[in-house]
C-alpha cells in the first residue's frame, strides 16, 4: 500500500471539538492532519469511516458532513462501549480513522432530479453529509425536500441550520415529532406524527424524484412501501443501512445482507437491490 | 511441471529435506487423542492415512487470535510479526481447496497483510486420501492447489511439482526422488502452475479446469428463505456451539477487539468469530439475526451460495468435518438436491 492510507491501520486523528446536541448525542470534530486530507477528500456522502477510540475499539460511523482539509465531523450517540468512551474524552485526545469505505449515494446520477430526503432520528447525520453536498452544488439538483422525524422536540438534531436552509429557500423542510411533552410546547412549531403521515399528503414529482432514506429499521419498512406507491422508482429509492461492520473491507462477514455485504456493496442500497432479500429491511 | 517418484523407505529423508523450507507440521495424534496438525517431532508419529484433523489448516494462516494493530505514543501501528516459515505436510485435497478459497478472500485487493505474510511463508505438500463416510467431496485431488502433491502408489508416492517452490524442494531432495516412469506407473493428469517465482498469487485455477471438490449441483439461495421444514427441525436441534464453523476449512469470519496492554497502550486483536453465536449480528440497539434459525440460514447462505464478491461460489470443500463434529448430527447438505437428481 503506497501513501499514508492503509485500509488496515487507522490514521491518527485528534479530537479537536465536541458540541453537545442533546443529552446523549454530540457532534465530534476530528483533525486527521494534512496527510489524511487526500484520501478523506474521496468521501462520497453516505460512505462510512471506522472510528477508533484507543482502548475501546472501532465503530462504523457515517460522517455528518463531507470531510475537508483533513477535518472530519461525526455525530455520535452514546449507546455502547466505544461511544461511551468517546463521549468522555477531552479535546486533544488521540483517535484513529480508517476509510472512507463503502458505496455512498449516487450523487452524479441524482443530478438534475428532485430529491426527497427522509430522516428518522439519528438518521439525519448521514443525510446531513448528503445535504451538504446538495447545497454545495445546489443548482445541479431539482427541488430538495427534507422530512425529518424525531422522537420529541428536544432530540431534534441540527434544527437551526435546517430551518436556516429552508428560510433561504434552498430546501423544503418538514419536521415532525412522535410526541411533544407539555413542558416543551411553545419552543418552536413542527408537526406531530410519524414520517409516513408527512409523506401521505405530500405532492411531488414522484416519477422523476430520487428518495434518500436513513433511520431506524422500522422506518424503512413503512416508508419504502409508501414511496413506491407514490410512484418513485425502486431503483431511485436509496436506503442507508446499518449492520455491524467490523473490518470495513468485506472480510469479517458480520454485515451481510442476503449475499451482499453492507460494508462494500452498501451501506447505501437501492430498494430494487433489496427487494428479494426478506430480512434486509 | 514434473512428476517424480518417492520410495516409501526414503520418506524420512524427504521429510528432513522439507525442514529446510520451514517448520514441518503434519497430521498426528494429540495426547488427548485428537487428530491435529502439529509440528513433526518424530516422523514415525505422522498419520499418513488420517481421515481429517479436527481443526483445519486455516489455523496456520488465520491464527485463532492475533495482534493486528497496536496503539502507542498517540497512534496506531502495524502489530503483526514476521511469521515463521512453515511446511504443511500431508494435506488432503479438500483442505488444499479450502486454502485456495481463503486465498481468494484474503489475497484479493487490498491483501490482508498478516495473511499474505503467512501465506508467502507457507509451503503446502498435499497427499491423496481415501474418503470415509463423512466425506463428500467429488474430486480425486488431481488438481489440488499446492506446491507439491504426493499421490500414493505402489511402494511409495508419485510426486507432482506444481510451483517454483515445489521444484526447489525437489531439487533439494533429489537424493530421494527418482524420475517417474509413467509407462510402468500409470499416467498422471497435469497440474496447473499456481505461483510464479516467489510471489504469492491466489491459487486460482486456470479456466476450464474443474474444481476438484464441492457439493453437487448449484444451490439455490432462495432455499435459505424458504419455509423448508428442515430449517425448523435444525433450529430446534442446534445447540449453537459453533463447532461447524470452527472446524470448517473455509469459515473465516472474525471479530476485532481492543485490549489494554499492561505496559501501556492498547492492542487490537483479530479473533475467530462464529456466525452461530448470538452476538454475531448485533448492532447498537438490536440484532439482525436474533434467532438460531436466522443464524443457521446465515451460515448456509455464506457457505453454499457465497457473499459478494464471491457470490455464487460455494466454499464447501466436502471435508466432512461439520458432519462429524456436530454434536446433534445436523447436516446442512440434507437441504441440498441429491447428486444426480
Q: Of A52, A75, A101, which closes a domain?
A: A101
> Do A91 and A155 sit in the same domain of this protein?
no
Q: Is residue B339 scored above 70 in pLDDT?
A: no
Give the CA dihedral B227, B233, B235, B240, nearest 10 degrees: -150
Min Cα distance B283 → chain A (Å) is 5
Residue matched to cell numbers 442533546: A22
**A63 in Cβ contact with B261 (< 8 Å):** no
* pTM beyond cutoff 0.90: no
**A99 in Cβ contact with A86 (< 8 Å):** no
Q: What is the mean pLDDT of chain B?
A: 83
Q: Is residue B234 scored above 70 in pLDDT?
A: yes
Weakest mean pLDDT among A158-167, B85-94, B143-152: B143-152
C-alpha grid cell, residue B328: 446433534
Three-state secondary structure call for residue A114: coil
* Count of H-run helices and E-run strands, chain A: 8, 15
Asked if the Cβ–Cβ distance from B112 to A250 is below 8 Å, we say no
pLDDT of B31 reads 92
pLDDT of A38 reads 82
From the list A142, A25, A156, the residue with the least C-alpha distance to A87 is A25
Q: Is residue B207 scored above 60 in pLDDT?
A: no
Min Cα distance B4 → chain A (Å) is 39
What whole-number distance in Å separates Cα of residue A256 and Cα of residue A262?
Answer: 6
What whole-number distance in Å separates Cα of residue A260 and Cα of residue B310?
Answer: 10
Taking the mean position of all CA atoms in its chain, how far away is CA B132? 18
Which residues from A are below 8 Å from B71, CB to CB?
A: 52, 54-55, 96
Q: Is residue A70 scored above 60 in pLDDT?
A: yes
Pick B69's closest partner by Cβ from A9, A80, A258.
A9
pLDDT of B340 reads 43
In a domain? residue A16:
yes
> Do A58 and A181 sit in the same domain of this protein?
no
> Do A119 and A215 sit in the same domain of this protein?
yes
Find the DSSP H helices in chain A: 33-40, 81-88, 107-110, 124-136, 159-167, 195-200, 217-230, 271-274
Q: Is residue A233 scored above 90 in pLDDT?
A: yes
Q: Of A101, A136, A155, which closes a domain?
A: A101
> Do A111 and A221 sit in the same domain of this protein?
yes
Which residues from A are below 8 Å from B62, CB to CB?
A: none
Min Cα distance B132 → chain A (Å) is 31
In a domain? residue A26:
yes
pLDDT tens profile A132-153:
999 999 999 999 999 999 988 8
> Do A156 and A248 sit in the same domain of this protein?
yes
Min Cα distance B252 → chain A (Å) is 7
Q: Is residue B164 scored above 80 in pLDDT?
A: yes
> Do A54 and A124 sit in the same domain of this protein?
no
pLDDT of B300 reads 86
> Do A254 and A209 sit in the same domain of this protein?
yes
From the list A175, A102, A180, the residue with the least C-alpha distance to A145 is A175
Question: In the predicted model, what is the mean pLDDT of residues B261-272?
Answer: 90
> Do A55 and A135 sit in the same domain of this protein?
no
In a domain? residue A171:
yes
Weakest mean pLDDT among A236-245, A270-279, B318-327: A270-279
Asked if the Cβ–Cβ distance from B78 to A251 is below 8 Å, we say no
Weakest mean pLDDT among B34-43, B70-79, B91-100: B70-79
Min Cα distance A228 → chain B (Å) is 24
Question: In the predicted model, what is the mean pLDDT of residues A206-217?
Answer: 92
Pick A10's closest partner by Cβ from B76, B110, B252.
B76
Asked if the Cβ–Cβ distance from B257 to A57 is below 8 Å, we say yes
In a domain? residue A251:
yes
In a domain? residue A281:
no
Residue matched to cell numbers 477531552: A90
C-alpha grid cell, residue A87: 463521549
Size of interface A-B (CB pairs under 8 A): 112
Which residues from B are below 8 Å from A254, CB to CB?
A: 253, 255, 273, 280-281
The CATH number of the domain where A171 resides is what? 3.40.50.80
Q: What confidence tier does B86 reach under pLDDT thresholds 50, 70, 90?
A: very high
pLDDT of B213 reads 40
What whole-number distance in Å separates Cα of residue A92 and Cα of residue A139?
Answer: 38
> Do A55 and A97 sit in the same domain of this protein?
yes
Q: What confidence tier does A267 reach under pLDDT thresholds 50, 70, 90?
A: very high
Residue of B nearest to A98 (CA): B76
pLDDT tens profile A149-206:
998 888 999 999 999 999 999 999 999 888 877 665 555 667 777 888 888 888 889 8
> Do A195 and A259 sit in the same domain of this protein?
yes
Asked if the Cβ–Cβ distance from A10 to B78 is below 8 Å, we say no
Which residues from B are below 8 Å from A252, CB to CB?
A: 253-256, 273
Asked if the Cβ–Cβ distance from B308 to A58 is below 8 Å, we say no
| Predicted-complex ipTM score | 0.87
Mutation target vs B (from A96, A98, A253, A255; most B CBs, 10 A cutoff): A253
Question: In the predicted model, what is the mean pLDDT of residues A225-240?
Answer: 93
Q: Is residue A23 scored above 60 in pLDDT?
A: yes
Q: Of A59, A86, A101, which closes a domain?
A: A101
User: B86 φ, ψ to 5°?
Assistant: -130, 140
Min Cα distance A115 → chain B (Å) is 29
pLDDT of B204 reads 36
Q: What confidence tier does B261 reach under pLDDT thresholds 50, 70, 90?
A: confident
Instruction: Give the domain ranges of chain B.
Output: 2-335
In a domain? residue A1:
no
What whole-number distance in Å separates Cα of residue B1 and Cα of residue B46?
Answer: 27
> Do A118 and A251 sit in the same domain of this protein?
yes
What whole-number distance in Å separates Cα of residue B97 and Cα of residue B138?
Answer: 12
pLDDT tens profile A74-117:
999 999 889 999 999 999 999 999 989 999 999 999 999 999 99
**Which residues is A55 bridged to in the sheet?**
none
Min Cα distance A215 → chain B (Å) is 13
How far is the CA of A103 from the CAs of A38, A99, A113, A135, A262, in angstroms?
Answer: 18, 11, 20, 20, 9
Residue of B nearest to A97 (CA): B76
> How many domains is chain A built from?
2
What whole-number distance in Å separates Cα of residue B329 and Cα of residue B238?
Answer: 9
DSSP letter for each residue of A255-273:
SEETTEETTTT-BEEEHHH
In a domain? residue A3:
no
Residues B107-130: b if buried by 16+ CB within 10 A, e if exposed: beeebbbbbbbbbebbbbbbbbbe
Residue of A nearest to B109 (CA): A249
Pick A94's closest partner by Cβ from B74, B253, B305.
B74
pLDDT of B217 reads 44
Asked if the Cβ–Cβ distance from B268 to A57 is below 8 Å, we say yes
> Do A62 and A153 sit in the same domain of this protein?
no
From the list B172, B127, B173, the residue with the least C-alpha distance to B149 is B127
Question: In the predicted model, what is the mean pLDDT of residues B148-173?
Answer: 91
Structural domain of A32: 11-101
Q: Are strands A256-257 and A260-261 parallel, antiparallel or unpaired?
A: antiparallel
Q: Given CA atoms B18, B22, B23, B25 in this order, what sign does their dihedral have?
A: negative
Asked if the Cβ–Cβ distance from B281 to A252 is below 8 Å, we say no
Amino acid at each position: 500500500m503506497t501513501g499514508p492510507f492503509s485500509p488496515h491501520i487507522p490514521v491518527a486523528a485528534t479530537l479537536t471539538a465536541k458540541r453537545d446536541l442533546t443529552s446523549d448525542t454530540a457532534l465530534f470534530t476530528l483533525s486527521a492532519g494534512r496527510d489524511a486530507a487526500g484520501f478523506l477528500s474521496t468521501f462520497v456522502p453516505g460512505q462510512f469511516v471506522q472510528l477508533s477510540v484507543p482502548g475501546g475499539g472501532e465503530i462504523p460511523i457515517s460522517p455528518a458532513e463531507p470531510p475537508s482539509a483533513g477535518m472530519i465531523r461525526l455525530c455520535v450517540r452514546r449507546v455502547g462501549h466505544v461511544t461511551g468512551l468517546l463521549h468522555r474524552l477531552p479535546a486533544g485526545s488521540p483517535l484513529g480513522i480508517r476509510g472512507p469505505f463503502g458505496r455512498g449515494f449516487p450523487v452524479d446520477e441524482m443530478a438534475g432530479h428532485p430529491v426527497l430526503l427522509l430522516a428518522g432520528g439519528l438518521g439525519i447525520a448521514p443525510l446531513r453529509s448528503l445535504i451538504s453536498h446538495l447545497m454545495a452544488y445546489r443548482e445541479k439538483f431539482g427541488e430538495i425536500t427534507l422530512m425529518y422525524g424525531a422522537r420529541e422536540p428536544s432530540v431534534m438534531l441540527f434544527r437551526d441550520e435546517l430551518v436556516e436552509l429552508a428560510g433561504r429557500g434552498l430546501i423544503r423542510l418538514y419536521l415532525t415529532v412522535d410526541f411533544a411533552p407539555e413542558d416543551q410546547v411553545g419552543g418552536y412549531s413542527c408537526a406531530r406524527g410519524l414520517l409516513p403521515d408527512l409523506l401521505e399528503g405530500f405532492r411531488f414529482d414522484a416519477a422523476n424524484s430520487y428518495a434518500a432514506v436513513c433511520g431506524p429499521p422500522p422506518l424503512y419498512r413503512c416508508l419504502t412501501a409508501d414511496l413506491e406507491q407514490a410512484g418513485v422508482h425502486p431503483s431511485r429509492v436509496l436506503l442507508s443501512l446499518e449492520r455491524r461492520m467490523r473490518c470495513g473491507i468485506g472480510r469479517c462477514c458480520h454485515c451481510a445482507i442476503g449475499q451482499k455485504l453492507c460494508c462494500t456493496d452498501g451501506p447505501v442500497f437501492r430498494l430494487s437491490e433489496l427487494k428479494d432479500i426478506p430480512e434486509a429491511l | 511441471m514434473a512428476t517424480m517418484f518417492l520410495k516409501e523407505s526414503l520418506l524420512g529423508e524427504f521429510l528432513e529435506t522439507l525442514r529446510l523450507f520451514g517448520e514441518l507440521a503434519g497430521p498426528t495424534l494429540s495426547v488427548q487423542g485428537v487428530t491435529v496438525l502439529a509440528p513433526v517431532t518424530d516422523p514415525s508419529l505422522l498419520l499418513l492415512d488420517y481421515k481429517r484433523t479436527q481443526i483445519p489448516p486455516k489455523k496456520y494462516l488465520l491464527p485463532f487470535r492475533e495482534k493486528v494493530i497496536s496503539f502507542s505514543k498517540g497512534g496506531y501501528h502495524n502489530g503483526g510479526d514476521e511469521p515463521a516459515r512453515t511446511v504443511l505436510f500431508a494435506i488432503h485435497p479438500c483442505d488444499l481447496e479450502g486454502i485456495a478459497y481463503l486465498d481468494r478472500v484474503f489475497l484479493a485487493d487490498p491483501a490482508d497483510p498478516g495473511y499474505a505474510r503467512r501465506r508467502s511463508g507457507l509451503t503446502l505438500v498435499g497427499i491423496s486420501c481415501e474418503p470415509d463416510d463423512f466425506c463428500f467431496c467429488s474430486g480425486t485431488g488431481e488438481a489440488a492447489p499446492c506446491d507439491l502433491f504426493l499421490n500414493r502408489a505402489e511402494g511409495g508416492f508419485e510426486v507432482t511439482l506444481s510451483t517454483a517452490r515445489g521444484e526447489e524442494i525437489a531439487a533439494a531432495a533429489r537424493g530421494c526422488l527418482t524420475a517417474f516412469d509413467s509407462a510402468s506407473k500409470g499416467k498422471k493428469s497435469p497440474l496447473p502452475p499456481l505461483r510464479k517465482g516467489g510471489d504469492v498469487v491466489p491459487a486460482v485455477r486456470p479456466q476450464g479446469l474443474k474444481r476438484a471438490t464441492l457439493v453437487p449441483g448449484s444451490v439455490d439461495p432462495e432455499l435459505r428463505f424458504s419455509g423448508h421444514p428442515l430449517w425448523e427441525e435444525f433450529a430446534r436441534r442446534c445447540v449453537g456451539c459453533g463447532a461447524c464453523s470452527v472446524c470448517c476449512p473455509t469459515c473465516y469470519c472474525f471479530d476485532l477487539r481492543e485490549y489494554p496492554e499492561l505496559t501501556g497502550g492498547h492492542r487490537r486483536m483479530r479473533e475467530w468469530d462464529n456466525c452461530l453465536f448470538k452476538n454475531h449480528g448485533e448492532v447498537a440497539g438490536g440484532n439482525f439475526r436474533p434467532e438460531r434459525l436466522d443464524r443457521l440460514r446465515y451460515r448456509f447462505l455464506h457457505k453454499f451460495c457465497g457473499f459478494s464478491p464471491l457470490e455464487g461460489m460455494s466454499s464447501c470443500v466436502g471435508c466432512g468435518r461439520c458432519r462429524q463434529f456436530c454434536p446433534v448430527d445436523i447436516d446442512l447438505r440434507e437441504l441440498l438436491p441429491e447428486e444426480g437428481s
